Amino acid sequence: MLSRLHATSDLLRRVARIQHLVKRLNSQMKLADINKAAQCLSELAQLSENVDLSGLEVLEEDQRSIRSHRVELERQARTMLTQGLKAQNQSQVAVATNNSVVAQHYGGTELNVRRCRKDVTKLQSCISTRQAFHGPTK
C-alpha cells in the first residue's frame, strides 16, 4: 500500500514539474532564448527517464508541444552551427553544438550530433591554422 502511494506521489510530482517546465519552454521559445529552452528540454528528458508517461491525457498536449519545440530547437541549432562554421565563430559553434546535443538527448538523432562534433573539430583546426598565419582574430 505504501509503495503504491509513493509511486503515485512521484508520478504527480513529475506531472506537475513537467507542466511547469512546458510553460517555461513555451515562453523561452517565443523569446527565442534557445540556450534556456535547451536546458528546459534537458530537464524534461530527465523527468521522463525510466517512467512510462504514455496514456496520461493531462500530458498529451504538453508532449506534442515538447516534440514541436525539440524539432524547432534542432533546426535553430543547425542554422546557428552552419552560420558559425561559415563565419569561423567558435562560440556560436559551441552554443549550437551544445543545443544539438541537448536536442539529441531528447530524441534527436545521434548522427546529427556526430556531424556537429566533426564540424566543430574542423572549425577548431581552421581557426588554429588561421591564427598561426594571421594572428588572433579580434
pTM: 0.68
CATH number at residue 20: 1.20.58
- Supply the pLDDT for residue 106: 46
- Supply the pLDDT for residue 100: 63
Domain count, the chain: 1
The position carrying cell 516534440 is: 67
Q: For the chain, 138 residues long, give each residue's pLDDT as a single digit of tens.
A: 888 999 899 999 999 999 999 999 999 999 988 888 888 988 998 898 888 888 889 999 999 999 999 889 888 888 887 888 788 777 777 777 776 655 554 444 455 556 666 666 766 676 667 666 666 555
Q: Which domain holds residue 44?
A: 2-49+57-134
